[in-house]
Structure 1
Amino acid sequence: MSVDKTRANRWVSLALLTVLGVLGLVFLLQAAAMVFGPSKSACTKQVCLAKFLEGPPAFNDVGMSTYLRNNHFLPPTASGYQLSGINGRTANFDAILQYIKEYFNNKRGGVFVDVGAGDGEYRSVTLELEKTLGWTGLLVEPNEHLYKKILKKGRKAQLTKACISPYSYPTVLKLAYPVIKEGASEEEEVKTLSQTKLHRLWDQQIETGLVAFEAQCVPLENLIYAAGITKSFDLLVLDMSGTDLDILLNTRMDVLPAFEMILIHANGANVGNDIGGYFLECNMVIKKVFGNSAETASYVLVKFDARKDL
């Protein structure tokens, strides 16, 4: 009988030691987590998954807007303009600019959001509005080469190299631009770099003749809010870069501040029908089309006014 008691005591002691060992291990893991931070697997399974299940971020998410301003935004330049003089102006460009100025009655101090701002100078409508009428706003250009060129221009608007997410949530996407030919002029280089194409996450290979890079992409509504544009603004410029109409499909137009006009550059794609149908649901209509073909057209859309548009 005493042998059985001794054996039972040993099992109890072993069980207690095992429990104490497990508790000690848990304590050590928690201490390590506090010192070294959570592991990637912990983030993925606990924090990140929980955040994902909450759904897309609110357009006015304070944490996100603060992070974007601190890490992905630059303020307007205080110094003078440092322009190259390579502006690519054409009769078509001048007609677009004149139409916008007349529509707004040469309004001073307007606000724009320019998505696909290029080098900030070449055929930039917002630059001309900025220089001649004192407009300002937000320039969005994810291409690193073009972004560096904008930095030298002295633009009087906020700048971000985040791209616009084609989804309702932030993500890192693969972008690509055509290879620049050896010996290309500055104008040819800017035109080539501006032809940035959006490639889906599931695309495993980049087409021949394209250079791939990754960019942080954020929903348009989150970028606009982070820029401090929370009241109505005047002009939204979208350079579609051929195939990027998808960026509009998941943009929550209903939470964007009210705006008066959209200028869309087709830049290689026939998007006229898609644009007309999509924006009609947003109570905006195509008011004017500039260009000689659908692939090179620029579309001006304004708020629908039954007194003028019926």
Structure 2
Amino acid sequence: MGLVKGACVLVGVVMVAPALVFYFLLCLQVPSASQWDVKARLSGPLAGDDPRVVRTVRENFLDPPSSLPYNLTNHAWFSLGKNMFTWPWVYYHIHSLFSQERGGFFVEAGALDGEYLSNTLWLEQELGWTGLLIEAEENNYKSLRSKHRRAWSSSTCLSSESYPKEIIFVSHFSRVKLLEISPWSFRSHGHELRDDLSQDAHNLLDDTAYTSVQCFPLVTYLAALNVSKVDLLSLDIQGTEASVLTNFFLTLSDVSVRVIVVENEYKNFDDAFMRLMSDKGYILLAAAIDYVFVKGDDPVLRRPEVVRIMEEKVASSSSSFLTLTSSPSPT
């Protein structure tokens, strides 16, 4: 009798084992060899619009918009921040362009915690926009997710190349406590570790840490979200802005980007970059530390507020020219 039972158990194991293997392969979705190949090559040089890369981002690197109530802070730092740095200037121009447009789509890279000095939060709250928030620093991103933004988000970074890559990301932290300045202003200095980007000015007051971060080209995120039109692209990524935009425009894409607000803190918008923007149909609406580019055929340029900005720009240029021409020549 015991021999019969043993035989039955053996037969059962033989019959059940293949089913268990099939279950683990199907239900637990063990990556195939090709999937491992794709993941191993995300450090480069697969093309940003490669369908395998797009699928990987869609399935592994995007978090959906929140449906929970906003969880924003009421700390004085956040209200004070709106009167400091370049935020008032950027807000003025974005508001002039979009204050009457509801339901737009934005991309904000260098999104920090999703609240402090955010260029897009007010668009979301007041005009019902949604979009994509990209933040490379892990702790910043955790805070961003806790704010329950109504936008997709990704704990990655924009690649400065036309392909995905892994970078060493330098996180910054406040070394000193200043009552009038939020610690988030220091955390916003995080950047890709590069020899051509000097951080000496920030390093005087900042402590740093180093981590490895996965980056993707801008076109990859947009393809993963099936987005064909971006109303506002906001880039504050500490020195790689020109490279990100150059590679985006050099990639064949049917994505339309109407307005680009991009930081030029490191003064690397050279003549070649400005020519590229012009060749792609953009006009420079305003420039300071940040630049505001608008597609030249966009109807938003006919808004009275925007026309006034353009007229003021022309008047300022004429005044500067007259000052130069009327200056006495050296003797």
Contact 1:276 1:285 in 2 (8 A): no
Q: Deviations over 1:35-57 (max 9, x none)?
A: 9xxxxxx99xxx67xx89x9643
Structure 1 gaps of 5+ residues are 1-34, 36-41, 292-296
The residue aligned with 1:188 is 182
2 CA distance for matches of 1:183 and 1:84?
A: 19
Point out the structure with max Rg over C-alpha: 1
Q: By how many angstroms is 1:176 displaced?
A: 0.5
CA positional deviation for 1:226: 1.1
Q: What is the TM-score with the length of structure 1 in the denominator?
A: 0.70
Instruction: Give the aligned partner of residue 156 of structure 1.
Output: 150
* Percent identity between the two aligned chains: 28
Distance 1:99 1:67, change over 3 A: same
In the superposition, relative to structure 1, how do residues 244 and 190 fare at CA in structure 2: closer, same or farther (>3 Å)?
same
Quick check: 1:243–1:269 contact (8 Å CA) kept in 2?
no
Shift of 1:242: 3.6
Offset of residue 97 of structure 1: 2.3
CA RMSD across the alignment? 3.5
Q: How does 1:118-267 map to 2 (within 5 A)?
A: 118-181=112-175, 183=177, 188-200=182-194, 209-229=207-227, 231-251=228-248, 252=250, 254-255=252-253, 257-266=255-264
The separation in 1 between residues aligned to 2:229 and 2:169, in whole angstroms, is 31
Equivalent residues, number: 254
Distance 2:267 2:47 in 1: 32
Give, in whole Å, the separation in 2 of the partners of 1:306 and 1:179. 40
- AA aligned opposite 1:144: E
Q: Secondary structure at the match of 2:160?
A: coil
Alignment of 1:30-179 (within 5 A): 56-57=46-47, 59=49, 61=51, 63-85=52-74, 86-87=78-79, 88-90=81-83, 93-104=87-98, 106-179=100-173
Structure 2 counterpart SS, 1:125: coil
User: Cα 1:127–1:56, aligned 2, differ >3 Å: closer, same or farther?
Assistant: same
**SS at 1:117's partner residue?**
coil
Does structure 2 conserve the Cα–Cα contact (< 8 Å) formed by 1:238 and 1:265?
yes
- TM-superposed CA distance for 1:258, in Å, is 0.5
Task: Give the residue type in structure 2 aligned to 1:57.
Answer: A
Alignment partners' CA distance in 2, 1:170 and 1:306: 31
Secondary structure of the 1:264 match is: strand
Q: Tell me if the contact between 1:129 and 1:135 (Cα under 8 Å) persists in the aligned partners.
A: yes
For residue 120 of structure 2, give the secondary structure of its aligned residue in structure 1. helix
Aligned in 2, Cα 1:138/1:178: closer, same or farther, shift over 3 Å?
same
- 2:10 paired residue number: none
Match of residue 303 from structure 1 = 295
Answer yes or no: is the 8 Å Cα contact 1:260–1:303 preserved in 2.
Answer: yes
In structure 2, distance between residues paired with 1:187 and 1:193 = 12
Counterpart amino acid of residue 82 in structure 2: R
Give the Cα separation in 2 of the matches to 1:59 and 1:196: 27
- How far residue 299 of structure 1 moved from its aligned partner, in angstroms, is 1.1
Mapped partners of 1:185, 1:151: distance in 2 = 26
Mapped to 1, the partners of 2:113 and 2:95 lie a distance apart of: 22
